[in-house]
Amino acid sequence: MKMRNSIAIALVLIFGIFLFRIFEYHHTSTSLNNSATYYNTNAPAEVGTANVVTAIVVTYRGLDTLGEVTVLFLTALIIGYILKQKNREKSVVNYTSEILITAVNILIPASIILGVYVFINGHLTPGGGFQGGAIIATGIVLLILSNPSKLMNMKVLHFIESISGFTYILIGLAGLLFAGGFLDNRILPLGNIGNLLSAGAIPIIYSLIGLKVGTEISSILASINETKENTIKP
């Protein structure tokens, strides 16, 4: 036990020294690098977004976003497969909380509306598909907390996820064929910066990402909930 504690303390000290050396020689940059300067200067005119981060994530580095969504999809798929193979006993909850159920009936619609607002307005304000999808998934968390024994319709989640992902790829290919590259938002008119219907196809792309992320996270949560080992009793 003493040896284990000594090793743990030594590792913590080494890690602390490593962080101290990083902070000691770290200097905050006072100017943007070449790439950041280009994005900050040209993104509003080229992409039509008031949010430069959105322009980078959805268009200039759209392939990176596609990779991130793919990783999340594979994670949800693997978790669902592993939990399905476990064949565990489903949990049964024999208690109800009127306060929780009442709150959930109010908060779930609010979570969905807020999530939709965040990814639809991602080209105008801070937010976007990943953030909006995560907010929508919180509604699923609340639903599970209020009634853990309720089974979700996984087919609906998988259908929405599949359609969103497939349409996302089609829009990306449309940009490649009819504009300047993969996920080029100029397949639709850019419109006027600041308006909801602007930034070309970005609102559609972010909506698809939001639905895809929301359904994938919800699938993970639902799969975990349906495979709990212990039966919960009052």
Under 8 Å between Cβ of 144 and 230: no
Give the pLDDT mean for 50-78.
87
Q: Cα torsion for 159, 212, 135, 232, to the nearest 10°? A: 50
How confident is the model at residue 185, as a pLDDT? 92
Q: What is the 3-state secondary structure (H, E, C) of 74-102?
A: HHHHHHHHHHHHHCCCCCCCCCCCHHHHH
Under 8 Å between Cβ of 224 and 145: no
Give Cα 141 distance to the centre of its chain: 15
Q: Is residue 126 part of a domain?
A: yes
What secondary structure does DSSP assign to 160-226, as a single string? Answer: HHHHHHHHHHHHHHHHHHHSSSTT-GGGS----TTSSS-STTHHHHHHHHHHHHHHHHHHHHHHHHH
Report the number of distinct structural domains present in the chain.
1
Confidence of residue 66 (pLDDT cuts 50, 70, 90): confident
How confident is the model at residue 1, as a pLDDT? 65
Per-residue pLDDT tens over the stretch 219-229: 888 877 776 54
Range of the domain at 105: 51-226
Q: Is residue 30 part of a domain?
A: no
Q: Is residue 140 part of a domain?
A: yes
Q: Is residue 234 part of a domain?
A: no
How confident is the model at residue 78, as a pLDDT? 84
* Mean pLDDT value across the chain: 84
* % of the chain with per-residue pLDDT over 70: 90
Under 8 Å between Cβ of 118 and 134: no
Q: Is the dihedral of CA 125, 128, 134, 136 positive or negative?
A: positive
Q: Is residue 25 part of a domain?
A: no
**Residues with Cβ < 8 Å from 60, sequence gap 6 or more?**
39, 43, 47
Per-residue pLDDT tens over the stretch 159-175: 998 899 899 999 999 99
* Gap between the Cα atoms of 7 and 102, Å rounded: 51
Under 8 Å between Cβ of 205 and 54: no
Q: Is residue 34 part of a domain?
A: no
Q: Is residue 11 part of a domain?
A: no
Name the one residue in this structure whose structure tokens are 């100017």: 31
Per-residue pLDDT tens over the stretch 13-61: 999 998 888 888 777 777 888 888 999 899 888 999 988 988 898 888 8
> Does the reported pTM lie above 0.95?
no
Per-residue pLDDT tens over the stretch 174-216: 998 998 888 899 999 998 988 988 999 999 999 999 999 999 8
Per-residue pLDDT tens over the stretch 77-130: 888 777 766 554 444 444 567 788 888 888 889 999 999 999 999 999 888 899
How confident is the model at residue 69, as a pLDDT? 85
Q: Is residue 17 part of a domain?
A: no
* Gap between the Cα atoms of 163 and 214, Å rounded: 13
